């Protein structure tokens, strides 16, 4: 079976991170093929669009031993508020944002399918700078890759799985329904290659400057990393300070 490259990277990252699969749970708010998640051997939930992060928050608080991975579509359109609050609280969640916005122009070039995919009145809108929103909201790990940066994406997911707190990885891909090897995916393959060929790696780049614009290549890389207390850490510290020895730490 041939997989979506993002799921391939996730599978490889789970192996490289050497995590217990029984403690991994994926929450997805976009369509996917269930047999792929089944093959990975991890628990999963499919939820309403825009609700993967709050659902994942509930899972984490209900069972702090879980490592939750939220697979979301364009989270800034639906669920952006959930994302920012989960980041500032530092919920222990890995957010994989599959950004499938079909850009009208990148690096001064028009990608495949542009004419059929865009309204003439929609092209003036600029995409949200997701890595900058993540860093501004105090995420502990921020990166962006195209779906064809397989080794780099795998490394980022592996690193994120080892972080305590909210990690945000944006993945530029033409859509959640793309699967390599399927006959009708030729145009999606062209888009994947277009994004990959028109991207440039700049690790450590200030997220203010990684906005996707029509004139420039897509800046990808690992942009930011930090350590800070998770939401549960802060909760335990506050309640322990307030209640004293009577308080039993959560989780």
pLDDT, position 112: 52
The residue whose two tokens read 């990166």 is 143
Each residue's pLDDT tens digit, 33-65:
667 777 788 898 989 888 999 999 999 999 999
Smallest CA-to-CA distance from 72 within 207, 210, 148, 170 is with 170
Query: Exposed, middle or buried, 101 (CB in 10 Å: 0-12/13-18/19+)?
Result: middle
Tell me, yes or no, whether 22 lies in a domain.
yes
Tell me, yes or no, whether 54 lies in a domain.
yes
Phi-psi region of 136 (alpha: psi -120 to 50; beta: other; left: phi over 0): alpha
User: How far, CA to CA in Å, does 142 sit from each of 47, 71, 89, 183, 222?
Assistant: 24, 15, 16, 34, 6
Q: What is the CA radius of gyration of the chain?
A: 18
Quickly state the pLDDT bin for 21 (edges 50, 70, 90). Answer: very high
pLDDT, position 89: 96
| pTM given for the model | 0.88
* Number of structural domains found in the chain: 1
Residue 241, domain extent: 5-246
Segment 88-92 shows an average pLDDT of 97
Return the number of other C-beta atoms located less than 10 Å from residue 2's C-beta: 10
Tell me, yes or no, whether 251 lies in a domain.
no
Look at residue 118 and give its three-state secondary structure.
coil
Secondary structure of 160-201 in HEC code, one letter for each residue: HHCCCCCEEEEEECCCCCCCCCCHHHHHHHHHHHHHHHCEEE
Quickly state the pLDDT bin for 179 (edges 50, 70, 90). Answer: very low
Tell me, yes or no, whether 110 lies in a domain.
yes
Tell me, yes or no, whether 87 lies in a domain.
yes
Tell me, yes or no, whether 137 lies in a domain.
yes
Range ranked top by mean pLDDT from 19-33, 68-82, 175-189, 226-240: 226-240
pLDDT, position 104: 57
Each residue's pLDDT tens digit, 193-249:
888 999 999 999 999 999 988 788 999 999 999 999 999 999 999 999 999 989 999
pLDDT, position 180: 42
Tell me, yes or no, whether 57 lies in a domain.
yes
Each residue's pLDDT tens digit, 96-149:
998 876 555 666 666 554 444 444 445 556 778 999 999 999 999 999 999 999
Tell me, yes or no, whether 171 lies in a domain.
yes
What is the rounded CA–CA span in Å between residue 47 and residue 23?
19
CATH number at residue 148: 3.40.50.970
Look at residue 120 and give its three-state secondary structure.
coil
């Amino acid at each position: 079976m041939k997989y979506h490259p993002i799921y391939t990277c996730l599978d490889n990252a789970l192996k490289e991170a050497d995590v217990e699969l029984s403690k991994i749970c994926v929450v997805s708010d976009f369509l996917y093929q269930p047999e792929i998640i089944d093959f990975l051997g991890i628990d999963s939930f499919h939820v309403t669009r825009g609700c993967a992060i709050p659902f994942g928050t509930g899972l984490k608080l209900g069972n702090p031993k879980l490592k939750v991975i939220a697979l979301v579509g364009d989270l800034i359109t639906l669920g952006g508020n959930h994302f920012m609050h989960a980041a500032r609280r530092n919920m222990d969640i890995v957010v994989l944002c599959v950004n499938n916005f079909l850009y009208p122009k990148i690096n001064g070039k028009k990608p495949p399918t542009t004419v059929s995919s865009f309204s003439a009145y929609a092209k003036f809108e600029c995409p949200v700078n997701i890595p900058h929103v993540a860093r501004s909201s105090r995420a502990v790990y921020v990166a962006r890759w195209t779906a064809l940066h397989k080794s780099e994406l795998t490394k980022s997911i592996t690193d994120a799985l080892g972080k305590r707190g909210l990690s945000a990885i944006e993945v530029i891909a033409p859509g959640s329904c793309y699967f390599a090897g399927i006959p009708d995916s030729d145009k999606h393959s062209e888009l994947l290659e277009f994004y990959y060929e028109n991207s440039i790696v700049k690790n450590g780049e200030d997220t203010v400057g990684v906005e996707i614009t029509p004139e420039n290549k897509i800046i990808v890389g690992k942009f930011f990393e930090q350590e800070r207390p998770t939401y549960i850490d802060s909760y335990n510290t506050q309640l322990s300070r307030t209640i004293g020895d009577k308080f039993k730490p959560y989780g």
